[in-house]
Amino acid sequence: MLRYILKRLLIMVITLWIIVTLTFVLMVTIPGSPFNSEQSSNETVQANLERHYNLDKPYHIQYLLYIKSILTFDFGPSISQPNQGVNDLLGRGFPISFELGIVTIIVAVISGIILGILAALRHNRIMDYLAMGVAVLGISIPNFILATLLIQKLAVDREWFPVATWQGPEYMVLPIIALATGPMAIIARLTRSTMLDVLTQDYIKMARAKGLSPWKIIFKHALRNALMPVITIMGTLLAGILTGTFVIEKIFAIPGMGKYFVESINHRDYPVIMGTTVFYSAFLIIMLFLVDIAYGILDPRIKLHGKDGD
């Protein structure tokens, strides 16, 4: 276990360094400057601004300063909001994005597992067809289109929910539905297929022969093995939900990191773009690592330390 953890930590550091480097290269190779605007068209003003943000220095110096800011976790001031530091934006926006993401994951996992179990237990019946129909729709409709439909039908036309912002539980309903529908559909389909396979295993037949109740067989014996593939894809789903929040937060005017990230791209706010990218990349890499550890703990048959060639 220790060897596996150390190996993964090394891979995590290398992966983060690659992301950091690629982000920097993309930023410095984009033509133009964030100060090419009417407000800063004066060459002297533009030169002073570039000097203030170290954009007048050679690329290798900028890169070293960028690495230093990451190691010290001080990304400096925002270009589009000079009175705000990137750290301040992260501290203000990330808790909201994290809350939205965590609640979305919980809703997607619980609803997806329930749909999958019901579909498997009622295989080739009306419940199975309904659950899989919902799953197909969830996979087929992009979350930004679903978000637009939800706003139009449930917020504007019927006024059941507020249209936007983030001021209470009722403001969370539509964004969470828009974000959770896709992952829920994937989990439901995967749970159904694995549950159907597990229910045909010999140990399940033995449990039935012993007279155990159906629900005890499902939750004590079948569900644990059926959920292993779901845990396997949790890292991918987590990545999809976290990146999906960027667009959803912009659509619903949620003051999370997604809103700041999209605005920073529009304003070419280099410190915010790079700070947000590094922060989210590190967070996602850590989450993927924890998913791998959880997978090994839940299934002792998996050797986390691996062998040569793993």
**pLDDT at res. 308:** 44
**pLDDT at res. 33:** 67
Length of the chain: 310
Which of 251, 129, 240 has the alpha carbon at shortest distance from 180? 240
- Residue 296 pLDDT > 70: no
Cα dihedral angle (83, 86, 91, 92), rounded to 10 degrees? 50
Is residue 95 within 8 Å of residue 284, measured between CB atoms?
no
Mean pLDDT of 271-283: 85
User: Where do the structural domains in the chain lie, given as residue ranges?
Assistant: 94-255
Mean pLDDT of 121-136: 87
- Residue 221 pLDDT > 80: no
Residue 292 token pair? 């791998």
Residues contacting 258, CB < 8 A, separation 6+: 93, 97, 245, 246, 247, 248, 249, 250
Residue 276 token pair? 């947000």
pTM of the model: 0.77
**pLDDT at res. 298:** 64
- 15-29, 203-217, 293-307: least confidently modelled range: 293-307
Is residue 76 within 8 Å of residue 274, measured between CB atoms?
no
Expressed in angstroms, the distance from the first to the final Cα of the chain is 14
- 27-31, 146-150, 194-198, 306-310: least confidently modelled range: 306-310
Long-range (24+ apart) CB contacts under 8 A made by 55-58 are: 55/270
Is residue 185 within 8 Å of residue 135, measured between CB atoms?
yes
- Residue 287 pLDDT > 50: yes
Q: What pLDDT digit, counting tens, does each position of 148-177 carry?
A: 999 998 888 888 888 877 887 888 899 999
Which of 219, 275, 291 has the alpha carbon at shortest distance from 81? 275
Q: What pLDDT digit, counting tens, does each position of 3-12 carry?
A: 777 888 888 8
For 309, list phi and psi in degrees, rounded to 5.
Answer: 95, -5
Is residue 259 within 8 Å of residue 92, measured between CB atoms?
no
- Helix or strand or coil: residue 167? coil
For a pLDDT cut of 70, what percent of the chain falls above it? 90
Residue 85 bridge partners (DSSP)? 77
Identify the H or E element spanning 48: helix 43-52
CA dihedral sign, ordered 231, 233, 239, 244:
negative
- CATH among 1.10.357.10, 1.10.530.10, 1.10.3720.10, 3.40.50.300 for 94-255: 1.10.3720.10
Is residue 78 within 8 Å of residue 84, measured between CB atoms?
yes
